[in-house]
Structure 1
């Protein structure tokens, strides 16, 4: 095999760290932006937070943002880069954190250091395990069992695998598992849904009750809502079945979620839309967001020619980085406002009359109207929320396909709202099938196929008619 040197000419999009950072900030939702700015305040001594809301420095900062030649270049460069979607995809998959030269692992460590780590289900179970009086061998078995419990609370490994890995007897593993079954939350460590529900009933002191009999012998009938079969086999009344079913419905099929739900973070909208007279006022949600400026002290030092060359170079680099962050934040704000104004204009009926009046819209249409690239719209709407008079929605909620009707095209989300309303108003003893839902929609002028109706129902996490039926 011959070895030789070759020259090969290729064209590749090269991104400066500043441009990488500008695009990165454009994508960040509010909560992550706060964390990023907090980290920058720690890393860059030239950045400082404006504490006084009435500070006169605001006017100075805004003047600099308007006169500085960097900002127009920033907008132009962002649009130029947006036209190279393929190169962007390569960048996001192959390069480091924008402006920070960090690996994915370092980014993960930064996030972990920026927020308080919530208590996981395994942490919760290990804490309970260490409170028990156990032998070293039993403790090791318990740690192994807990390590194989998923976030829903179910044991994913078989007892045979645990016995083989640890070289212990089946009786010892069963003994420790029975101890874990008494831990909170009730039902944790179960190997099946049936075992999970039975463990919860027994923790409530309901062993030997009708609920236990139904779960033990008729769980599949219960799932399929075959109540008549349960009545016939157990020889009980309809009222008794109703009471038992209500009690079983209060149990948690995923006990581990009781821990993770407590750690759920609230949704914080990036934009707020308020009705004012005949129009709408759009605001950026700045609550809790740091207002930054370049430190006046270091601004003066920057012009001091008597400094040590190394110190002067360091100050100049940090000064440029601080100015770029401030300008990138301002550019993010302007882009968000511009996109939101276009959405409100296009979806005015939604804001005036409610969710079912949502119109079909695509990111390409919005991009064309405001003179930006489609990928820029995609990034600025990524994981961001908007607070409207009708509730909080993802920005991407306002982009959907269209469905033909007798009165013109409507958005697919409008059809989903109609399906939700039909199911909410249906007779619970005789719920609507997908075919009946489709017929009712067609009577209202919405021409969709039965399979499309079924697809929309599934996307709304609504069960089929046979599983919605009640006694």
Structure 2
């Protein structure tokens, strides 16, 4: 056997993940708002890309634009899987696309119809936030003063200057619910001051608005509010010292401890319900971000209309005039290569966005087709469905469907749902019929518990029997698991809760 070095020529096949393929895969998993952020970054890097607001012009106006050509696809594009696998679109063919034009509304029953946003005014804004006419959701949010700022403002007038640094440190340790989360001894040691001085400053903070702020536990928070309402007597003090019995609904023992009758105990519990266990939450925390739907689904005479929410997608074009201007000027080899790369990148990005839209429409159309009973009759008719079922029906890979349904929301007449919501596990039918979805079973459990009488609480065993009568073949442990997942207490907990409500 020869050990000498030699040269061999071998031919192999391999799939290479080019940057363009990685970009296309990443775009599939992004929501419309995330795509908007991604495009903003691309606009910064690529001078040939341009985002324009939808000015409400006609198609003829768009066709005559001096620096933008209309894209007319010659044939139906390849599926998303083929696009990713074959690396299509890496060439430098000219391709200018207006995502708001009619070229991208031939994938569903929503062609040439009005917006499906239920009068929200989102589908017609066009620019997705890049233009002046786009919706400004941030301006709708209130800029409330934070709890810390509110407390510091009060401390500036109520606490001596010598103790201001202690007050500021204590306020920094108060969480958004209004509770002090650090032991006073630790704060005293950290600031190198006597513990009594820290306690005195905390006592001042506990007199601030909102009442109950600066408490170290729930009992102290409610005690501060009872004192403010001039309702803190020995009976109320005993009640607040035994909140665990209140939580368990042990009314008989509470009456003995507080030394009151049924009427007085009922008055005290009603008073307790009026207090705020988290007083700090009434002040501004993090701004709540509204969920913006990526798709609209509406019922039409011909079937179901499915439409992409164009309000969250900018109108992306290639600035043809600028490209011609740069090409006509003097260029060295590096500049010419850079300009060609920019054009190829812009062409690929627009084609990837086009394919993304078409893939989303195909997946959403199949979901609506398979879950039509849900859209017509509600969650009780939601069918079990898997990613593989949808992927096989539209001839795509399961991973592609998974990416498409991630972080995307669908708006219909029944509300706003994440696309992942429609994929649920199957529960066998008790009468041998078709299987039902887990969400349908949860809805049945929720309905049964909501309708139970205060003096006839349904146990898990009773729920199993009632569900079996409705055709659900389900075990007791599964009922308990679903009940806990929905945040519903056990029969004992619900009985005590209703006893407190009736007190």
TM-score, normalised with respect to structure 1: 0.78
2:33 to 15, 31, 47: 31
Question: How far did 1:189 drift?
Answer: 3.0
Q: Structure 1: where are the runs of 5+ without partners? A: 1-10, 82-113
Deviations along 1:214-261, one digit per CA (max 9) or x if unpaired, are 652331111112233333443545454444434433444334443467
2:242 to 172, 194, 218: 218
Question: How far did 1:72 drift?
Answer: 4.8
Say if 2:389 is the partner of 1:383: no
Q: Structure 2: where are the runs of 5+ without partners? A: 1-12, 88-136
TM-score, normalised with respect to structure 2: 0.74
| Preserved contact between residue 33 and residue 312 of structure 2 (Cα < 8 Å) | no
**Greater RCO (CA < 8 Å, at least 6 residues apart):** 2
1:459 to 485, 497, 500: 485
Structure-2 separation of matches of 1:140 and 1:35 = 42
Which is helix-richer, 1 or 2? 1
Question: How far did 1:358 drift?
Answer: 0.3
1:351 to 375, 392, 396: 375
Question: How far did 1:129 drift?
Answer: 6.1
Which residue of 1 is the match for residue 52 of structure 2? 50
Which residue of 1 is the match for residue 94 of structure 2? none
Secondary structure in structure 1 of the residue aligned to 2:73: helix
Moved more, 407-416 or 149-158: 149-158
Secondary structure in structure 1 of the residue aligned to 2:296: strand
User: Could you say if the C-alpha distance between residues 150 and 456 of structure 1 is closer, same or farther in structure 2, counting changes exceeding 3 Å?
Assistant: same
Which residue of 2 is the match for residue 164 of structure 1? 189
Question: How far did 1:127 drift?
Answer: 4.6
Question: How far did 1:202 drift?
Answer: 4.0
Which residue of 2 is the match for residue 66 of structure 1? 73
2:167 to 142, 146, 156: 142
Structure-1 separation of matches of 2:342 and 2:157 = 54
Secondary structure in structure 2 of the residue aligned to 1:293: strand
User: Could you say if the C-alpha distance between residues 249 and 263 of structure 1 is closer, same or farther in structure 2, counting changes exceeding 3 Å?
Assistant: farther
Deviations along 1:243-282, one digit per CA (max 9) or x if unpaired, are 4434433444334443467721222111111011262111
Which residue of 2 is the match for residue 110 of structure 1? none
Structure of larger gyration radius? 2
Question: How far did 1:463 drift?
Answer: 2.0
User: Could you say if the C-alpha distance between residues 316 and 141 of structure 1 is closer, same or farther in structure 2, counting changes exceeding 3 Å?
Assistant: farther
Which residue of 2 is the match for residue 95 of structure 1? none
Say if 2:194 is the partner of 1:192: no
| Preserved contact between residue 238 and residue 257 of structure 2 (Cα < 8 Å) | no
Aligned residues: 427
Structure-2 separation of matches of 1:333 and 1:184 = 51
1:277 to 301, 319, 327: 301
| Preserved contact between residue 178 and residue 215 of structure 2 (Cα < 8 Å) | yes
